[in-house]
Amino acid sequence: MTPPRLQDVAARAGVSTATVSRALSGKGHVSSRAKLRVQQAAQELGFVVSYHASSLASGRSRNIGVVLPHIDRWYFSTVLEGVSRALLEAGYDLSLYNFDGDRYRETVLTDFLLRKRLDAAVAVALQLEPAETRQLFSAGIPFVGVGGPLVGAPTVSIDDLDVGHRATQHLIGLGHRRIGHLGGVDEQGRYFTMSSNRRAGYERAMTEAGLPIDPEWSIVSDYTLMDAYQRAKNLLADPDNRPTAIFSASDEMAAGAILAARDLGLSVPADLSVIGIDAHPIGEALGLTTIDQHAQQQGVRAVRRLLDHISGADNEPTDEILPAHFIARASTGPAAGSSGS
């Protein structure tokens, strides 16, 4: 037996299909008596509107896309969790498009996003070429960026430069002068503006304090714990020339640094202070001092912005900077032989 259609509900309730549509969607006026009969009939028949028919007729699909370069990395899956929650709450469907690094970059941009099935989309930390940005926008729907600038669309993020600055200042305030940095690559200008902004914040804080920035202490990693572990270990192995503190652009890399230090017999924070960014759960067990960037909340805000926009709320396309908060734990402490500052 074929599923009930709106027409069947109309027949059973003794009204027209238009009335059923109105009663069920809540748009337009329907007498409460008619509404009741419709709802009952729909209930009895187990009627659910056909998504495709509804979308085709109305031109809107209650479906929002999420485009991201990775899924199984903490930042992305956490933002996604926030996006998902906000969308579920609003009754919207969520379509997921994963670049998977660069693997499906083209495909997603040229095929998937153009199918006219999305009301809007959020782009998480994508760093696109100008031509790619154009492709994106050619989908003809509102976009909002998260965690990195999406040129031409409003973006929700933290102030990465400021966060890098504050993290570094924290270490400087503890009396450290030999401070290293663990950051990400800025592959040919793609990806990780986030990362380069944090590095810029570090450099600014160092410069302001009149401290030297040793290029050897400025480590470029691929943002994974293991890679950071290995590189930090190399850096810290030299007892004559190693930093007393490290500011890491992510908690996972910070964790790698802490594990490396321990494996070298260095104690944290006595021999080495480490601060990260994220509030990644792994930081708890390591006592990692960090700055919470409220990743989930970033996803939630992005969705709110989009939904407001769709519903015609008069929001100007301004960027939104979310606050980030210190979580002081045990991985940072006074520099050896320092009285603080």
Decide which of DNA, a second copy, none touches 30; Cβ closer than 5 to 8 Å per partner kind.
DNA
DSSP string over 255-303: HHHHHHHHHTT--TTTT-EEEEEE--THHHHHT-EEEE--HHHHHHHHH
Binding residues for a second copy, rule: CB under 8 A, are: 3, 48-53, 55-56, 61, 63, 66, 70-72, 74, 77-78, 80-81, 84-85, 88, 91, 93-98, 100, 103-104, 107-108, 111-112, 114-117, 140, 224-226, 229, 255-256, 259-260, 262, 281-282, 284-286, 296
Please count the other Cβ atoms lying within 10 Å of the Cβ belonging to residue 246.
33
Q: Report, in Å, the least distance between residue 337 CB and a second copy.
A: 26
Contact 153, 120 (CB under 8 A): no
Strands 289-292 and 325-327: antiparallel
Q: Does 12 bind DNA (CB under 7 A)?
A: no
Type of residue found at 117 = R
Q: Report, in Å, the least distance between residue 277 CB and DNA.
A: 45
* Residue (27 or 116) nearer to a second copy, CB: 116
Q: Report, in Å, the least distance between residue 108 CB and a second copy.
A: 7
Residue 291's φ and ψ, nearest 5 degrees, are -120, 120
Decide which of a second copy, DNA, none touches 191; Cβ closer than 5 to 8 Å per partner kind.
none
Q: What angle do CA 290, 296, 299 make, to 5 degrees?
A: 130
DSSP 178: S
Q: Taking CB under 7 A as the criterion, which residues in 31-90 touch DNA? A: 31, 33-35, 47, 49-50, 53-54, 56-59
CA distance 250 to 183: 8
3-state secondary structure (DSSP) of residue 253: helix
Decide which of a second copy, DNA, none touches 71; Cβ closer than 5 to 8 Å per partner kind.
a second copy
CA distance 214 to 236: 14
* Residue (85 or 204) nearer to a second copy, CB: 85
Q: Report, in Å, the least distance between residue 329 CB and a second copy.
A: 12
Type of residue found at 221 = S
Q: Report, in Å, the least distance between residue 149 CB and a second copy.
A: 24
DSSP string over 90-156: HT-EEEEEE-TTTTTHHHHHHTGGGSS--SEEEEES----HHHHHHHHTT-S-EEEESS--TTS-EE
Q: Taking CB under 7 A as the criterion, which residues in 14-33 touch DNA? A: 14-19, 21-22, 24-25, 27-31, 33
Decide which of DNA, a second copy, none touches 15; Cβ closer than 5 to 8 Å per partner kind.
DNA
Q: Report, in Å, the least distance between residue 178 CB and a second copy.
A: 24
134-156 as b/e: b if 16+ CB within 10 A: ebbbebebbbbbbbbbbeebbbb
Q: Report, in Å, the least distance between residue 10 CB and DNA.
A: 7
* Residue (16 or 241) nearer to DNA, CB: 16
Nearest to 320 by CA among 160, 155, 162, 148: 155
Q: Report, in Å, the least distance between residue 61 CB and DNA.
A: 11
Question: Which parts of this chain interact with DNA (CB under 7 A)?
Answer: 2, 5-7, 14-19, 21-22, 24-25, 27-31, 33-35, 47, 49-50, 53-54, 56-59
